[in-house]
Amino acid sequence: MSEVKAVLAPGGDPADRGEASRAKPRRWSGIGAVGVVMIVLALLPLAISGSYYMHVLILAFVYVVVSSGFRTISISGQFNIAQGAFMGVGAYAAAIPAVWLHWSPWVTIPLGAVAATVVGSIIAYPFARLRTVYYAMGTLFLGYVIMNLITAGGKTTGMSTGLGGVQPLFSNRTHYYYLAFGLMVVSMACMYRFEFSRIGVRMKAVAQSHQVAASVGIGERRNRILAVAFGSFFTGLLGAFYCHYQGVASPSSYGLGATLLIIMYVLVGGLNSFWGPSVGVLILLVIPEFYFRDLKGDLPYVTAAILLIIAFTLPDGIVGLVNLVKNRIVKRLGRGGLPQQPEGEVRADAPGD
Amino acid sequence: MLLEIKGLTKRFGGLKAVGDFDIHVDEGEIVGLIGPNGAGKSTVFNLITGVLPVTSGTNMFRDRDITRSQPDQVAALGIGRTFQLNPLFPEFTVLQNVTSSFQLHPCSSLFDIFFGTPKYRRNERFIREKAHEILSLVGLSKEANDLARNLAHGHQKMLGVARALATKPTLLLLDEPLAGMNPSEIQYSLDAIRGMRDNGITVLIVEHNMQILSLCDRVVVISFGEKICEGLPSEVRANSEVISAYFGADYVC
């Protein structure tokens, strides 16, 4: 082994040094961009206080987290169509004790997150036997069953009209805005850490080949359950927050309808990139509500057109397109191009990660 | 005895893929498991590593019963393996393929990983260093940052070996390591396998290619799921049952 060490000793091989020096500026520009967006979002209520726009942004924060939760589960190879139902589990687990037992929202919101995690993990156990399209089909029916069970709860759950009178957290919308913003920042930070650490590497390994993963000690079932538990925690958290914000837990806000929105956001933004779901929410939710409200009736057609264009031409979504353009420009400038992988690359081995 | 398998049987419905198969591997040996196409060689591997459930029989590894263990548990006990086909994570780079395979030694807890504790960072640094070492051992240093799916077939196979080495195995199961390799790659692989043995790794090889015989201390021949012969390479070569299994009874002089 001594001659092996000699080869590696002086600062690693050249290819590796190149990677490291390229990675540094990208990392800082990324942190800078996120910082700017966060500052803008934190100051925005000063400009748009109390308006409809603030409601749109609160909704957007909820969907950013829930869609990112969907994507977090998907990096382990699970296309969880029951995501909207998990959101509903969180919402009803918060709403029922809040309405009937008058528990404080500060208790019921975490309770919603825990309930979604527990339900998600229990369900993930048998579902870890299913893969690819069979998993998707299974979770599709599962979500349907969960929502039916919820609405079948009689007076306790308010049936198909929903459970009204969920006590509000605040009287002021700005407070809701900051709570939603805070929940989003924390959730996204946790999910980022989850994906870009060794845990995420395990998930991606399982997704690529469960047999090869098992042969190096990465158990498929264990890791898939972990991914679902982690993703549904934040899904349930924001689901519970959302029902307290709305003041009502209604089946129409959750379940399959919500799942469809989530999948749209994720696919348009880019399934293979951490920021994909956020970009999807920006393009399909925030921008239309901000600038094209008078188009309301025609909006479904525009959305459909966007979806079809993405499906046929941009398998990696908008973020994939951005990366592609960025790569072209860098190549033009003669700096040899970025690494081939899109932003979702595995960087567990990044120095100082 | 490192690995001891007794009366291993596997039925797929009415079809008996492996019947009453015995094999043992001692520490420090290179044992070859050879046989014609469809003889059940890879099935034996999958039964040992828990990929397929065993119908009957017992697998003992270091005096521990691993008959009903899951594949990841078997790996954790120290049995590494390679695959005949698709032996890697195609969307990872070569380096990531190896670093991601360091799950067991050293092992960071979920807490350490999530919060990026100093222990986790230390482990990751160590893993990176070790991964580079392993890559240069199998001759893939130059390809470290290429996507694994872009590798040539022979290199993919070597990467499979590198991945298995990352688990720090006591016993390494190689599934047709020479299949689809050119003569110079074969020579390189043979040397590499010998080198692993010299580093204290016991090796069990499934192979078609008879060149492997030169490497083995002992050879077990399997045909139609049953052991037909066992012995030194030279004995096996001369055995008439082996010749008839490979070439048909007409060729036996």
Decide if B89 and A349 are in contact by the 8 Å CB cutoff: no
Decide if A216 and B116 are in contact by the 8 Å CB cutoff: no
Q: Give pLDDT, residue A25.
A: 60
Contact A123, A224 (CB under 8 A): no
Q: CA distances (Å), A237 to each of A129, A164, A234, B103, B172, in order?
A: 27, 19, 5, 31, 46
Q: Which residues of A touch B142 (CB under 8 A)?
A: 13, 15
Dist. CA A273–CA A282, nearest whole Å: 15
The proportion of chain B whose per-residue pLDDT surpasses 90, expressed as a percent, equals 24
**Annotated domain spans of chain A:** 53-332
Output phi, psi for A102, to 5 deg.
55, 40
Residues near A228 by beta carbon (within 8 Å), at least 6 away in sequence? A73, A78, A80, A120, A121, A123, A124, A127
Closest-CA residue to B74 (of B99, B98, B53, B96): B53
Contact A115, A128 (CB under 8 A): no
Tell me the pLDDT tens digit for each residue of B233-248.
888 877 777 777 777 7
Q: Give pLDDT, residue B99.
A: 92
Dist. CA A105–CA A244, nearest whole Å: 7
Decide if A8 and B136 are in contact by the 8 Å CB cutoff: yes
Tell me the pLDDT tens digit for each residue of B98-120.
999 888 777 888 888 888 888 89
- The residues pairing with B23 across neighbouring beta strands, listed in sequence order, are B5
Dist. CA B26–CA A130, nearest whole Å: 39
Q: Which residues of B touch A199 (CB under 8 A)?
A: 110, 113-114
Number of other residues whose CB lies within 10 A of the CB of residue A240: 31
Q: Give pLDDT, residue A348.
A: 43
Contact A320, A341 (CB under 8 A): no
- Calculate mean pLDDT across residues B220-232: 87
What distance in Å separates residue A129's CA from the closest CA in chain B? Answer: 14
Burial class (CB in 10 A: 0-12, 13-18, 19+), A132: exposed
Dist. CA B79–CA B89, nearest whole Å: 19
Q: Which of B89, B150, B173, B199 to mutate to test the interface with A (most CBs of A within 10 A)?
A: B89
Q: Which of A191, A212, A347 to mutate to test the interface with B (most CBs of B within 10 A)?
A: A212
- Residue A208 contacts B, CB cutoff 8 Å: yes
Dist. CA A183–CA A179, nearest whole Å: 6
Q: Is the pLDDT of residue B146 over 60?
A: yes
What distance in Å separates residue B49's CA from the closest CA in chain A? Answer: 8
SS3 category, B222: strand
Look-up of token digits 């913003």: A181
Q: Are strands B79-81 and B171-175 parallel, antiparallel or unpaired?
A: parallel
Residues near A41 by beta carbon (within 8 Å), at least 6 away in sequence? A57, A181
Tell me the pLDDT tens digit for each residue of A103-155.
888 999 999 999 999 999 999 999 988 988 999 999 999 999 999 898 887 77
Dist. CA B204–CA A76, nearest whole Å: 32
Q: Which of B46, B100, B104, B137 to mutate to test the interface with A (most CBs of A within 10 A)?
A: B100
Q: Give pLDDT, residue B42.
A: 87
What distance in Å separates residue B178's CA from the closest CA in chain A? Answer: 19
Q: CA distances (Å), A332 to each of A20, A222, A340, B180, in order?
A: 21, 45, 15, 39
Contact A217, B76 (CB under 8 A): yes
CA B211-B216-B217 angle, to 5 degrees, is: 155
Contact A214, B70 (CB under 8 A): yes
Q: How many helices (H) and strands (E) does chain A have?
A: 15, 2
Instruction: For chain A, list residues with pLDDT below 70.
Output: 1-26, 49-50, 334-353
Decide if B142 and A193 are in contact by the 8 Å CB cutoff: no
In the chain, the amino acid numbered B193 is I
Question: In chain B, positions 66-85, which contact chain A (CB-CB < 8 Å)?
Answer: 70-73, 75-76, 80-83
Tell me the pLDDT tens digit for each residue of A52-109.
889 999 999 999 999 999 999 999 999 999 999 999 999 999 999 988 888 888 999 9
Dist. CA B215–CA B30, nearest whole Å: 7
Look-up of token digits 């893969």: A131
- Residue A194 contacts B, CB cutoff 8 Å: yes
Contact A317, A273 (CB under 8 A): yes
How high is the ipTM of this complex? 0.87
Q: Give pLDDT, residue A136.
A: 92
Q: Which residue has the higher pLDDT, B210 or B176?
A: B176
Q: What is the mean pLDDT of chain B?
A: 87
Please give, one letter per residue, the 3-state secondary structure of B68-117. Answer: CCCHHHHHHHCEEECCCCCCCCCCCEHHHHHHCCCCCCCCCCHHHHHHCC
Paired tokens of A10: 């002086």
Contact A263, A303 (CB under 8 A): no
Question: Domains (ranges, CATH) in chain B?
Answer: 3-251 (3.40.50.300)
Cα A224–chain centre separation: 16
Nearest to B86 among A18, A209, A339 (CB): A209
Nearest to A216 among B73, B128, B163 (CB): B163
- Residue B223 contacts A, CB cutoff 8 Å: no
Q: Which of B91, B105, B149, B163 to mutate to test the interface with A (most CBs of A within 10 A)?
A: B91
Tell me the pLDDT tens digit for each residue of B62-91.
988 998 899 999 999 999 999 888 778 999
Look-up of token digits 């590696």: A8
Q: Which residues of A touch B76 (CB under 8 A)?
A: 217
Paired tokens of B117: 């504790």
Tell me the pLDDT tens digit for each residue of B151-180.
988 888 889 989 999 988 999 999 988 888
Tell me the pLDDT tens digit for each residue of B1-47.
889 988 899 998 888 888 888 999 999 899 999 888 888 888 999 99
User: In chain B, what is the greatest distance between 2 CA atoms, to the nearest angstrom?
Assistant: 70
Dist. CA A272–CA B103, nearest whole Å: 24
SS3 category, A336: coil
